[in-house]
Amino acid sequence: MDVFRNQLMEAPPRRTFTGDSTGLVVAANNGSDFADAATLRENIGLGPTDAVQFNTASIGGSYIGGGALVVESTITNNTNIDGQILNLYHERTSNGASDNYGLSVQVTPTVSSGVTDSGTVTAITGDTYGRDASLAGNTANFVGGRFRAGIVDATSGATVTNAVGLLSGIRMEKAGTTITSGIGHKIESTVSAGTVTNLYDLYAATPTANNYLAGKVGIGVEIPSVELEVGGDIVADSISVSGAVTGTGSSTNNLGGNLIVGSAKAAGDVEVAVGGGRSADGNAFVDIIGDTTYTDYGLRVIRNSGANGGSAIASRGTGTFRISTVEAGAFAIGTNSVDRFIITAAGALELSGTVIHSTSATPASASAAGVAGTIAWDSNYIYVCVATNTWKRTALSTW
């Protein structure tokens, strides 16, 4: 049995290994721990039909212990311990396709009709933990299972199309049967006592790796309805969105950082819509707050409710409300999609409609207080302030 050639397996404390024509017979040594060897006979066959086969008698309600293969060693230095049990050497010299398994464990439970088994059927379980007072010092890492795939040594030029460290999933191939919840990979930690300082159910530690999820992802949402659905808050230094951003509900969403929309977009439109897709009328507005006095808004851009609701830009405080062009561009205000009021880049004022000065005012005298350039009118005269506190007038007549 060269496959079990390992110095660490000298004098296993709980099993006797004897060879026969079927492979290897492993019998229990201690009748107080298990049933006698004749009742609980565990065969390990190395034939092509069943790679590993355990035959045990039916013991209702009792725990059938494992430990068919036990490797024990006392470590006094930095030597790596490899309790290697099975090696699969696969050789291919011509094109083809085959599935090869270093270790294959298949569990085929039998449950009679009308019977419910409330337990758990597990093909492979791997546990690494302290079991008694013999664990008293410090251990750097406990790993329950380790699975890796790749190339350690090979001829230069060899390739592997896909290296998958762990492949798990749901297998469903029988019509008329039902799996209520199919979970391809479930991570579940048990902490009932003691202290776990940092508990992670999932920790991806390769900063250069990509993480791909083809379906929908729910965080705090068991059955997500979209590609990413979060049932709680999101905290981010920055959020970059290349498509549409929509929101539902009446809750307030706080973003303690920058929101950049359309960053690095090559072409096409970029839109920020407030109130899009609504099912009833209501105000829609954007508030900008830059002080601790006007905490509701310092500047508001609002569209009032209704198809013909008014729109406004409101600025609070005594500071100047300025609209200007930075470069040599004109400034225009229009109605009915036509520019009516234009300030050219040179500062000239162009009006395309009628000028209506709706408020009449009569200076008290030619030396009344006034600012040069002010124009006033009443039913008899037009008044022009030509210098500080200096007015002139011209009479109005009919025709």
Reported as a single tens digit per residue, the pLDDT across 184-193 is 989 889 899 9
Integer-rounded Cα Rg, in Å, for the chain is 41
pLDDT higher at 32 or 129:
129
Mean pLDDT, residues 199-225:
92
pLDDT score for 10: 34
Residue 78, pLDDT above cutoff 50: yes
CA distance 375 to 55: 110
User: What are the CA-CA distances from residue 133 to residues 33, 65, 137, 141, 195 (Å)?
Assistant: 20, 21, 10, 18, 17
Q: Report which of 7, 57, 2, 56 is spatially closest to residue 24, judged by C-alpha positions.
A: 2
DSSP state of 337: T
- Mean per-residue pLDDT of the chain: 78
pLDDT higher at 163 or 64:
163
pLDDT higher at 83 or 124:
124
pLDDT score for 247: 62
pLDDT higher at 76 or 215:
215
pLDDT band of 273, cuts 50, 70, 90: confident
Reported as a single tens digit per residue, the pLDDT across 39-74 is 333 444 333 333 333 333 333 333 444 444 444 555
pLDDT band of 88, cuts 50, 70, 90: low
User: What are the CA-CA distances from residue 232 to residues 223, 253, 344 (Å)?
Assistant: 14, 10, 51
Which of 1-10, 31-40, 146-155, 245-254 is predicted with the least confidence, judged by mean pLDDT? Answer: 1-10
Mean pLDDT, residues 99-127:
85
Mean pLDDT, residues 385-399:
95
**Tokens matching residue 354:** 């009628």
CA distance 123 to 366: 106
Reported as a single tens digit per residue, the pLDDT across 292-348 is 999 999 999 999 999 999 999 999 999 999 999 999 999 999 999 999 999 999 999
Whether the Cβ atoms of residue 47 and residue 71 lie closer than 8 Å to each other = no
Give the global pTM: 0.51
Classify residue 317 as left (phi > 0), alpha (psi -120 to 50) or beta: left
The answer for residues whose C-beta is within 8 angstroms of residue 52's C-beta and 6 or more apart is 44, 45, 103, 104, 105
